[in-house]
Structure 1
Amino acid sequence: MQNFFRRTILLIVGLAIPLLFACQSSPQVDASPAVSSGLSAAPAKLDPLPYDYAALEPYIDAATMRLHHDKHHATYVNNINEALKAYPDLQKQSVDTMIRNLNNVPEAIRTKIQNNGGGHVNHTMFWQIMAPKAGGEPTGAVAQAITQTFGSFDALKQQFNKAGADRFGSGWAWLVSDRQGKLSITSTANQDNPLMKDPNAYPILGNDVWEHAYYLKYQNRRAEYLNNWWNVVNWQAVNQRYAQAQEK
């Protein structure tokens, strides 16, 4: 009986030793999460929303946010990566750099980068300048600049909303700043970004007036959407972009 137990123990030890060495020699798997590259293009990535889909209710509904971010924005990102597959040198640039220098983008993919790169940059900003429990009066340096330029916040809203309402078809309304901190309002068609035409027109605030941004909730009532949108504007983020504009 003792010999039986001795043989059993030796057999177990004999099997365990190779397994132990195998575990020690196995390569370690890096379980750390991948860091999103945001507006980098190697490849471009879709960052998650900084809040829940329903966080901007009742002004922007959860169904719109899910469709807008997970489908429309994701498509822009996928199209960028598809367009850049044959251009490894361009993959080293940020999407922001490419849309600022469209003439340097090969003609074969220039329109794709203009449309999809613009869509990626525009929407990345759009999610950041909105927040739950936001809105209200502007704060900080941008509040002073608004008063100096437009006379009042109400005057800014009227002019900005008009730019959005007058944009025929799809596009954006923008509040831009130059390097001296001077503000102006403009609008662009489709997914064009103000920086595509004017490197000194840095967008600090933008509202998407494509129908996919509001139609599920507001149908054809774009003016109502434009008015309600001010209730989700994140003035802290707008102030950060205003400071960045003067550093560019």
Structure 2
Amino acid sequence: EGELEGADRSGANGNYSHFGELKRRFTWNHAGTVLHDVYWEVMGGNGDVQQGPEIAKAIDESFGSFDAWKTDFKAASMSAKLSGWGILLFDQLYSERLINVTVDEHQYGAIWGGIPLVPCDVFEHAYYHKDGPGRPVYIDNFIANLHWGRINDRYKKFVRR
């Protein structure tokens, strides 16, 4: 951020400019920080969604059932490129419902006004050393270790019902 504050803005353009590159790096770093912070916050549980009654109800309303959410979430996580995320988010700005999205890198595919509730890091560094090319196994293990009480608290912080 320090370099960005003092950057020359006069040469900014859509092809290449030092200022533009600094702005792109800022959004990459900011999004990555947010997603990693939430990622670590929501892990460490036993995967029991009933420990989060409000989020469990919202998942049922948005996806029909927890199993349907899990299937869609896993598919969203599998669909990210080699560097990306599968994210359950709360669309606070537009629809006020839960949505699973596929985000490549940290920012491509993000939804404006979407609050990340469950971000699954599927960059290869997150799973390759332990599971090799076994991304599906990693995602299943991730879901099984979610702390739904913390996810529920995060959801309640942003929902306006």
- Residue of structure 2 equivalent to 1:72: none
1:60-99 matches, cutoff 5 A: 84-87=1-4
| Distance 1:181-1:109 versus aligned 2 partners, 3 A rule | same
* Structure 1: tracts of 5 or more residues without a match: 1-83, 90-105
Letter in 1 for 2:32: G
Name which of 107, 126, 133 aligns with 2:20: 107
Residues of 1 paired with 2:152 and 2:96: CA distance? 11
Residues of 1 paired with 2:103 and 2:36: CA distance? 14
Larger radius of gyration: 1
Tell me if 1:227 matches 2:123.
no
Q: What do residues 85-126 of structure 1 show as CA deviations (whole Å, max 9, x unaligned)?
A: 23459xxxxxxxxxxxxxxxx524111112211111110111
- Residue of structure 2 equivalent to 1:136: 48
- Residue of structure 2 equivalent to 1:190: 105
* Structure 2: tracts of 5 or more residues without a match: 7-18
Question: How well do the aligned residues superpose, as a CA RMSD in angstroms?
Answer: 2.0
- Residue of structure 2 equivalent to 1:213: 126
Q: Once the 2 structures are TM-superposed, how far is the Cα of residue 216 of structure 1 from its aligned partner?
A: 1.0
Letter in 1 for 2:25: K
For the residue of structure 1 that corresponds to 2:2, the secondary structure is: coil
Residues of 2 paired with 1:108 and 1:145: CA distance? 39
Residues of 2 paired with 1:210 and 1:108: CA distance? 22
Partners of 1:147 and 1:153 within 8 A in 2: yes
Tell me if 1:169 matches 2:86.
no
Partners of 2:48 and 2:147 within 8 A in 1: no
For the residue of structure 2 that corresponds to 1:86, the secondary structure is: helix
Residues of 2 paired with 1:87 and 1:116: CA distance? 13
Q: Once the 2 structures are TM-superposed, how far is the Cα of residue 245 of structure 1 from its aligned partner?
A: 2.4
Structure 1 stretches (4+) deviating beyond 6 angstroms? none
Q: Using CA pairs below 8 Å that are at least 6 residues apart, which structure has the higher relative contact order?
A: 2
Residues of 2 paired with 1:150 and 1:142: CA distance? 12
Q: Which structure's residues are more often strand, by fraction?
A: 2
Q: What do residues 14-67 of structure 1 show as CA deviations (whole Å, max 9, x unaligned)?
A: xxxxxxxxxxxxxxxxxxxxxxxxxxxxxxxxxxxxxxxxxxxxxxxxxxxxxx
Letter in 2 for 1:171: G
Residues of 2 paired with 1:208 and 1:194: CA distance? 14
Partners of 2:72 and 2:100 within 8 A in 1: yes
Residues of 2 paired with 1:245 and 1:144: CA distance? 15
Letter in 1 for 2:107: D
Q: Once the 2 structures are TM-superposed, how far is the Cα of residue 193 of structure 1 from its aligned partner?
A: 7.4
Tell me if 1:146 matches 2:45.
no
For the residue of structure 2 that corresponds to 1:192, the secondary structure is: coil
Partners of 1:136 and 1:230 within 8 A in 2: no
Residues of 2 paired with 1:239 and 1:136: CA distance? 12
Identity among equivalent positions (%) equals 28
